[in-house]
Structure 1
C-alpha cells in the first residue's frame, strides 16, 4: 500500500471514530457516561480520557516530527515498520483482546470526568486529521517520534500515526461495549 493510501485510510478511520463518539455519546447523561461495569473497568469517559492523555503527548510530538521532516527528503512508497512499531501496533489492535496494563499516568481509572472529555477528544481528532494531511509531504519512515513511556526509543513517523489511530479504535470499541452493557442493564 502506498503512503498516500495508508494516510487516506487512517484519515477516514479518524473521521469515522469522531462521528461515532459525537453520535454515540452525545445523548447520554453524565451519569451514564461515567457508568462503570465494574470498579476495575473504565467508563466511556475514562476510555476517552485515556486517549486524550495519549493525544496530549503524541499530537505535539508528531507535529514537531512532521515540521522537522523536510519535503526534500526521499518520499517513500509505503510505511516500513520497526520492531517497536510492530510490537506497539500488535498490542493495541482492536482484534487483540488481551488486556494490557496501562502505565500509571495514562490510567484514568476513578477520574472525575465531564463532557469536556468528549469535546477534548474531538479536538484532538481534528489535530490528528491535520497531521495526517501534513504527513503526505514527508518521509513516513524517518525515526522521529519518541515513545511516550521510554523516550530513548523512537518510532517512525508513519507507524506512530498508525499507532495513534489503531489505539483509538481499540478504546472506542471498548467504550461502545460499556455503553452496550449500560443499555442491557437499563433494559433489565
Structure 2
C-alpha cells in the first residue's frame, strides 16, 4: 500500500473532523425535535439515530485511543502505510465508491432515549477525537493495533482506525444532509398545500 506522509495524514483527518464538529455545533444542536426525528420512511434512520449510531463507535474506539496515549509511546514521524484490510474497510465507507447500504452490527444499532443528548454526545466525542488525532502525530500509527468493535480477534493499525472513523463519520454526515433536504422539501410541500387549500 502507498505510504502517506505522517503530518499530511494527521492534518487531513484533523481538518475533516473539525468540519464535522463545526457542522454539529452550527446546525445539529440548533435543530428541534421534529427535525431530529424526521425520517424519509419507516425503514430509514432519522438524524438522531445517525448520530446515536456514530456515538456507539466513539464509545468503543475513543477509550481505546485514550489507553494508547496513556502509555509511554516512542515518538515516531514514520509515514502511515494503510494495511490491505484497513483499506478495504475504509473503502466500504467511502461514498465515492457507491452509496451501498450496510446493516449496522447489533452493538452499533442506534438506541435513542433523548435526541438532544445524542447531539451533545456527538459534539463531545468529536472534540475528544480532535485532541486524540493531534496527539497521534507523534505516535507510530503503523505499529500500534486496535481490535475492531465487531470482532475483537481482528486488529487494525491505529492509522487505519483513525481513517475509518473519519470516513465513517463523513458517510453518515452525507446521510444527514439527505435527511435534511428531504425534511425541507416536506415542509415546503406542506406550506404550498396549506396556501392552496380553500
| TM-score using structure 2 length | 0.88
The whole-number CA distance in structure 2 between the counterparts of 1:12 and 1:125 is 12
| 8 Å Cα contact 1:69/1:138 also seen in 2 | no
Q: Aligned partners of 1:36, 1:16: CA distance in 2, in Å?
A: 24
1:93 CA drift (Å): 1.3
8 Å contact from structure 1 (residues 36, 178) kept in 2? yes
The whole-number CA distance in structure 2 between the counterparts of 1:183 and 1:49 is 22
1:154 is the counterpart of 2:150: no
Matches of 2:22 and 2:172 in 1, distance apart? 15
Cα deviation for residue 115 of structure 1 reads 0.7
Query: Which deviations, in whole Å up to 9, do the C-alpha atoms of 1:4-41 show, x marking residues without a partner?
Result: 11101111111100111222223321122111111111
Q: Deviations over 1:102-136 (max 9, x none)?
A: 10221116x34321111100100111011111101
The secondary structure found in structure 2 opposite 1:45 is helix
Count of aligned pairs: 185
SS in 2 for 1:162: helix
Equivalent residue number for residue 8 of structure 2:
5
Q: Is the 8 A contact 2:94 2:171 kept in 1?
A: yes
Q: Is the 8 A contact 2:77 2:137 kept in 1?
A: no
- Which stretch has the larger CA shift, 139-148 or 47-56? 139-148
Instruction: Report the counterpart of residue 57 of structure 1 in structure 2.
Output: 60
Moved over 4 A (4+): none
Structure 2 residue ranges without an equivalent (≥5): 190-198
- Aligned equivalent of 2:127: 126
Structure 2 Cα separation of the partners of residues 28 and 187 of structure 1:
17
Q: Identify unmatched segments of 5+ residues in structure 1.
A: none
* Structure 1 counterpart of 2:194: none
| 2:86 paired with 1:85 | yes
Q: Does 1:102 align with 2:121?
A: no
Cα distance between partner residues in 1 of 2:128 and 2:114: 22
Q: TM-score, normalised by structure 1?
A: 0.92
